[in-house]
Amino acid sequence: MADNPIYEDLSPLRKRARGIFLAVEILFVLTAFYYWKIQILDYRMYSKLAEKNRIRETVLVAPRGLITDRKGVLLAQNIGSFTAALIPENTPDLEGSLAGIGEMLGIPIDELRRRMERYGSQPAFKARPIKENLSLEDVSRIDARQLEFPELVIIAEPKRFYPFGSRASHVLGYMQEVSETELKSRRFRDRHLGDLIGKTGLELEYDAYLVGQPGRQVELVNSRGRRQGLVEKQDAQPSFPLRLHLDFDLQAKAEDLLEGREGAAVVLDLKTGGILAMASYPNFNPNKFINRFSPEEWRSIVSRPDFPLENRAVRGLYAPGSIFKLTMGLAGLNEGAIDDRTSVFCGGQVTIYGQPFNCWAEGGHGSQNLTDAIRNSCNIYFYTLGKKLSIEDIARHARLYGFGRRTGIDLPGEKEGLVPTPKWKKETRQAPWFPGETISVSIGQGPLLVTPIQVAAHTAFIARRGRTVTPSLLMAPGFLRRQGDPMRDADLLLRDDIKRRNFDKIIKGMWESVNREGTGRGARVEGFDVCGKTGSAQTISTQTADRLSRNQREIKTHSWFTGFAPRDNPEISVTVLVEYGGMGGATAAPLAGELFALYRRLKAEKK
């Protein structure tokens, strides 16, 4: 009976069956719990995800604030533009999409991959821009193949445009896409990848104001990402225009005068401190920076030896040369080292501390008082004054009159310059200060460095007889302007350090320099009483200059002129620097004269 299969023991089979049934029951319970969790506990999250499959929200970029000159001439505006963007979520085959889209739009697939990788941290439902400034042909091509590429969308947005190209480019600055590093900064923490921001100039300085208030658009889309209708739209709000002190006619003239040279020019309104013109050459076309370009194109710009992106007016550091003799004159008068009758004989050379120092005029100027010395830019007079003053006295007055610190102009990146002292030399060069170095500083040479905007502010300080002014570009309430490092309060200067009558003694020499056959006569404008001072700053050491001179080699100097007009109740100052321009009277002064003449003509036409 035991061998009969009818009586086979089925208990092991029943055990296995019970185990399987138990496992199935557990899986069923887990599955039921999972669906319960999805529908009950996590329904809000999945509801939002489902909503995103049929709802697409787009940020509407606000038209950037306009920038105009003082007369309303548009310097920066906005034009309509179309951008192609790709939504990764809407394609099952991203590589295939990139290949097809790249062929359609003429973009290398490697470039498309780099573009997508840049936005890799963004959600897949976010549109990622791949090509800006679409032509009508591009728009038509994308629209015709929408069913083939539902992941490709067209975004209409305002694009920055500078109607005069390179005009005022260093003042306006340029825009580019925000970097990941900048997104971490306080200034741009509310911006997003793909946003265009100001990188330099006023576009950077007032970026938060110019950007306006972005809007939003909510659209109903189908499963393929095609737009079915508009759910909600909130229009973007542009900011109010920025109106500048800049005068377009003066700005254009200043840039035309500098064309083909390297240098800077600043025209300052002495009543308000407004910048009427600020030119730096070479310049650049900021429209080129709106569009994305390759690293190679960027390097080709920044590696140019003439540094076209550098605003020489606020960032160029130069020895002031004989311009600094105005500072020396004020310091000497204020310290009691000289008065306007102090006479020094100039024979073309003088020996101080056992070392010969030459005047620029080989035969000398003869007997010179302060007025004569400024008119003729006599080195020997100011060498002698430098011997009477300590370097500490010179440095104190130089800083007091605006050198060695920022003017406070509303532009980013302004440099401080350098006013040397024994302490500075010890700390930076680990060497003592020698008395002969003071003699070089007394005519604006040595390690002394200034910017053209500092020279313009210093000239305004003299023209206004000791009342300071902070240069500014924006013609707007003060709360919009950045507080920089402006010069000390004018009343404090007059009360503690400057005797007002000393300014007229300096100004007399400046007037004669332009109007009585002095070194600045090239800036003369009939009937306008221009006062000014020239400068020729060496770009090489004295020893090298002597060697080149003996070998009959041409010695190139930086050419300076700074001045104001009219002599009484002054209205404007003009500062011109031409790198390697030679003598200030031959190069910079005539350029300044043309700017003075144009200002006077424009003023007469306005009446």
Residues acting as catalytic residues:
322
Integer-rounded Cα Rg, in Å, for the chain is: 35
SS3 of 160-193: EECCCCCCCHHHHCCEEECCHHHHCCCCCCCCCC
* Angle between helices 379-388 and 325-335 in degrees, nearest 10: 40
Token code pair at residue 598:
């144009």
* Angle between helices 248-258 and 588-606 in degrees, nearest 10: 160
With a CB cutoff of 8 Å and minimum separation 6, the contacts of 350 are: 356, 357, 359, 380, 383, 384
Counting DSSP H helices and E strands in the chain, the numbers are: 23, 19
Strands 215-221 and 196-198: unpaired
Classified as helix, coil or strand, 48 is helix
Spatial separation of the C-alpha atoms in residues 199 and 203, rounded to whole Å: 7
Strands 175-177 and 196-198: antiparallel
Spatial separation of the C-alpha atoms in residues 543 and 546, rounded to whole Å: 5
Spatial separation of the C-alpha atoms in residues 174 and 247, rounded to whole Å: 20
Spatial separation of the C-alpha atoms in residues 530 and 524, rounded to whole Å: 6
Spatial separation of the C-alpha atoms in residues 570 and 472, rounded to whole Å: 18
Give the other-Cβ count within 10 Å of 73's Cβ.
18
Give the other-Cβ count within 10 Å of 262's Cβ.
21
Asked whether 314 and 453 are in contact (CB, 8 A), the reply is: yes
Token code pair at residue 183:
């997104």
SS3 of 228-260: EEEEEEECCECCCCEEECCCHHHHHHHHHHHCC
Strands 242-243 and 67-68: parallel
Biggest CA-to-CA distance, the chain: 150
* Length of the chain, in residues: 607
Torsion angle of alpha carbons 122, 126, 128, 129, nearest 10°? -140
DSSP codes, 303-372: T-TT-TTS-HHHH--B--GGGGHHHHHHHHHHHTS--TT--EEE-SEEEETTEEEE-SSTT--EEE-HHH
In sequence order, what are the beta bridge partners of 472?
A: 274
Asked whether 79 and 159 are in contact (CB, 8 A), the reply is: yes
